[in-house]
Amino acid sequence: MTVAVDPSPAFAEFAHPERLVTTQWLEDHLGDDGLVVVESDEDVLLYEIGHIPGSVKVDWHTELNDPVLRDYVDGAGFSSLLSAKGIRRDDTVVIYGDKNNWWAAYALWVFSLFGHEDVRLLDGGRDAWIAEGRAITTDATTRPATEYPVVVRDDSELRAYRDDVLAHLGKPLIDVRSPEEYTGERTTAPAYPEEGALRAGHIPTAQNVPWGRAVAEDGRFRSRAELDAIYRDEAGIGDASDVVAYCRIGERSSHTWFALHHLIGIERVRNYDGSWTEWGSLVRVPIVTGAAAGQVPA
């Protein structure tokens, strides 16, 4: 059973307003049957120092990733994870997290690979909830285990592999990293550790639209008009575009994927989760350095 959508006028202009909830809506609906709140953070211990009452933690490193392959868990793994968390296939899942919902958006994207139908983001994430003085607890959440079905993960619609990206060159490609990473001055986000890319720069023809442009000062998504100005007017993306977004490991680009797909309604958007940590280490793939997007290699 799913829960009614947040009718907030703040979301009315978005292509899929049902994908966002406000902090007030969530507070009003905590405990509703059919609603499960999930916290997903960069820091694996943040949930333990205080979380939204009744929420469960899903960690991207230790739970959504396969422990051996560089890949996500498979259908059986996702089924046992969500069953243990007490999530049913038809539950409404609201995800929130730290860092402007980077990891929350990433988790939402992974849930979407498994076709979990009703999965939403808390606009503003963990910081907005806490800044507004809403309830936080360190009490452990116990939910009765469920029997989440084994669903085959479908990567074809939402995920791009490196060969897909090579074949995609010439179509819209959005590099959501910082300008320093894009030009090739560095391979990691400022203040982030090196994560093993051997070369710096960007994929030819990719436009640099740093992920953070999609959010306002308060960490909430910008308005429809502002997002349209950035992605449609400036970056030239239209309804018919076939878009691939990438970053360093796919988390910041999940955030942009969410904005493009759910907020401004671009149908075909894929996240290249291999991102720079794969592309920057591949042998003989084309790379461009500097501020210019560059050309499709002949």
Partner 1 sequence: MSDAVPSSLAEVRDEFLEVPEAERLQLLLEFANELPEMPARYADHPERTERVAECQSPVFIVLEIGEDGLVAMQASAPPEAPTTRGFASILTKAITGLTPDEVLAIPGDYPQTIGLTRAVSPLRIAGMTGMLMRAKRQIAALTAS
CB-nearer residue toward partner 1: 164 or 195? 195
Task: Among 18, 27, 42, 155, indicate the residue that binds partner 1 (CB under 8 A).
Answer: 42
Burial tier of 175 (Cβ tally within 10 Å: 0-12, 13-18, 19+): buried
Nearest approach in angstroms of CB 188 to partner 1 is 9
CB-nearer residue toward partner 1: 102 or 231? 102
Binding-site size for partner 1 (CB under 8 A) equals 17
- Count other C-beta atoms under 10 Å from residue 289's C-beta: 14
Residue 69 sits in the site that holds partner 1 (CB under 8 A): no
- CA 252, CA 271: separation in Å to the nearest integer? 10
- Which residues are tagged catalytic? 247
Site mask, partner 1, residues 169-198, x = CB under 8 A? ----------------------xxxxx---
Contact predicate 19/258, CB 8 Å: yes
Segment 97 to 116, residues that bind partner 1, using CB under 8 A: 98
Contacts for 186 with CB less than 8 Å, ≥ 6 apart: 180, 200
Nearest approach in angstroms of CB 273 to partner 1 is 15
Nearest approach in angstroms of CB 161 to partner 1 is 21
Residue 6 sits in the site that holds partner 1 (CB under 8 A): no
Nearest approach in angstroms of CB 42 to partner 1 is 6
Residue 298 sits in the site that holds partner 1 (CB under 8 A): no
- CA 60, CA 46: separation in Å to the nearest integer? 13
Residue 62 sits in the site that holds partner 1 (CB under 8 A): yes
The secondary structure of 256-297 as a DSSP string is HHHIIIIIS--SEEEEETTHHHHHTTSTT---B-SSS-----
- CA 258, CA 103: separation in Å to the nearest integer? 12
- CA 146, CA 103: separation in Å to the nearest integer? 24
Nearest approach in angstroms of CB 178 to partner 1 is 14
Task: Among 21, 35, 46, 243, indicate the residue that binds partner 1 (CB under 8 A).
Answer: 46
Residue 239 sits in the site that holds partner 1 (CB under 8 A): no
Sign (positive or negative) of CA dihedral 181, 185, 187, 190: negative
Query: Interface residues with partner 1 (CB under 8 A)?
Result: 42-46, 48-49, 59, 61-62, 67, 98, 191-195
